[in-house]
Chains A and B, each alone.
Chain A
Amino acid sequence: MTDIQSAVAARPESPPASHEVVFDVRDLTVSYGGAPALADVSLEIQRNRVTAFIGPSGCGKSTFIRCFNRMNDLIPSASVDGTILYHGQDLYAGDVDPVEVRKLIGMVFQKPNPFPKSIYDNVAFGPRVLGQKDGLDDRVEEALRRAALWDEVKNRLKESALSLSGGQQQRLCIARALATNPEVILMDEPASALDPISTTRIEDLMHELKQDLTIVIVTHNMQQAARVADMTAFFSVRVDEEHDRRTGVLVEYDATTKIFTTPGDKRTEDYVTGRFG
């Protein structure tokens, strides 16, 4: 058996039964300046699961995950067609405020980006912005505990966040995202800038957090997807030679065990067995 297959086999759970749908994506297309970067994606994200997006670089997985909290709105040339329903509500409806969306759906980025403030102020930033001024101390402590960082920083909450190591900073960013009690956390390659030990800690964190939250992650590391994800979506690049365009497409979306042991599409099989990618 390959590395990945042994990783999948080592997982404790049995194939997951169906859960409530959090995100319902239908025919989603994202274009930058008119050129489609990601085309006609449809899938459902289930509650209390870890869903991973994998695929070669340039296949649009980062673009896709940023649609869920409307971060693509910050890029002027980006336009989104199609629908994403969040518990049945259209995320891109005309009267929906992106700021409100991001209060319910949190995000952790590839490179840790703590604010140049104290550890406490970083975690407290979200609640303060939401106007939740009472019980800040408790919120901060709870968020840091959930991110498995409390014991390491409880005596130096007033120190600058930049004095932490890379792995600690990323866990701080996770705590920061957790402090507002979102229902969903999006993670865009959260461990790719970290050392292996920090990576393992974050993967363990994901297993714990999914009890209360829904987690969606982008990763270029297949072993990681095999270790943490319940459901996996494989994206690939469709090359349009005539117009010199590369567009991302969803190839296959299924339970992780299935994707890595008996993939339905040949492209998926080629990718997960390392024939290309």
Chain B
Amino acid sequence: MSVAPTIGRRSHGRVSQLLFKAFLLFSLLVGFVTLGVLLVDVLKDGLPALSWSLFTDPPSSDPEIAGARPAIIATILMMLLLIVMAIPVGVATALYLEEYANKERWYNRFLEVNIQNLAAVPSIVYGILGLAFLVRGLGLGRVLRAGAMSRTLLVLPTIIIASREAIRAVPSSIRDGGLALGATKWQVIWRQILPAAIPGIATGSILGVSRAIGETAPLLLIGAVTYISFDPTILGPFTALPIQIYQWVRLPQAEFRELAAAAIIVLLVLLLTLNAFAIWIRNRYQKRW
């Protein structure tokens, strides 16, 4: 080459590059904009209808005095039941898989695959499970216990997966140190590993429980009744906040739509609090190894 090459000033497809980047940004925005519109819409309809009667009154066919008290109480009861039932079993399973199970054995690998599959099963199938076994099979009837039990099964895979991550994150030097001092495996787990993993476990569990509270489909099948006016107990018929919302949305009167929006605000605030709590736990107690 005897002529010195000149550097081109314009890149091929400058326009297409800009268009591409615009599309990418738009993709990101679609989600956020929709979220914003949704929130504005809910607030617009719900804030006027938000009042104490929502918390104190039972539902009724008269929108003026209808409230969601049984639903709110039931949701809280359900949440507590979930925490009591799902977290111990979930953490125990995670401990078994991480600390005790021999990964080479086929039954343990099967266990892992099984949990992964369960995490992806549609929630309504858990409702079918509950319907068949708990409501009709065991004859429990359409009661809160049944609802809580099938929600437990629903949330279990999520808690297991989150707990495993937390337990795995604990460095093996802690285990080795404890064992070297002559402690038994369980002592090391109980005194060293679990305490270290608790922030991760707590965060994952709370997030899992908050997702479960929003899951409505299984409860439809288990038979959350939407017209109870008394305070629900564990043993009796029940309803739940998402169910109440669902029922109100379907009613023709516009006031019920507004009530539904108000109940949505309550639900979202509840979830937001739970999630913020989970993140606070993680930030506060997370040790950096």
Chain A residues near B (Cβ < 8 Å)? 86-89, 91, 95-97, 99-101, 103-104, 130-131, 183, 212
Contacts and interface: CB of A to CB of B under 8 A. Distances in A.
B1 A183 contact: yes
B9 A95 contact: yes
Given A97-B11, A99-B11, A88 B4 contact: yes
Contacts of A101: 7
Contacts of A89: 6-7
Given A86-B7, A104-B5, 5 more contacts: A89-B6, A95-B9, A104-B7, A131-B12, A183-B5
A91 B9 CA distance: 11
Interface of B: 1, 4-12
B225 to A, nearest CB: 57
Contacts of B11: 97, 99-100
Nearest to A181: B1
B88 to A, nearest CB: 46
B256 to A, nearest CB: 54
B7 A96 contact: yes
A130 B7 contact: no
Q: For chain A, what secondary structure do more than half of its interface residues adopt (helix, strand, loop), or is it mixed?
A: loop
A103 B4 CA distance: 14
Contacts of A103: 8
A86 B4 CA distance: 9
Nearest to A98: B11
B9 A96 contact: yes
A104 to B, nearest CB: 5
B10 A87 contact: no
B5 to A, nearest CB: 5
A100 B1 contact: no
B3 to A, nearest CB: 9
Contacts of B9: 95-97, 100
A100 to B, nearest CB: 4
B4 A87 contact: yes
25 contacts: A86-B7, A87-B5, A87-B6, A88-B4, A89-B6, A91-B7, A96-B7, A96-B9, A97-B7, A97-B9, A97-B10, A97-B11, A99-B11, A100-B7, A100-B8, A100-B9, A100-B10, A101-B7, A103-B8, A104-B7, A130-B12, A131-B12, A183-B1, A183-B5, A212-B1
A103 B6 CA distance: 11
A42 to B, nearest CB: 21
Contacts of B7: 86, 89, 91, 96-97, 100-101, 104
A100 B5 CA distance: 11
A183 B4 CA distance: 9
Considering residues A99, A104, A183, which has the most beta carbons from chain B within 10 angstroms of its beta carbon?
A: A99
Contacts of B10: 97, 100
A87 B4 CA distance: 6
Nearest to B2: A20
A145 B187 CA distance: 67
Contacts of B1: 183, 212
Contacts of A97: 7-11
A243 to B, nearest CB: 28
A96 B7 CA distance: 8
Nearest to B17: A99
A130 B12 CA distance: 8
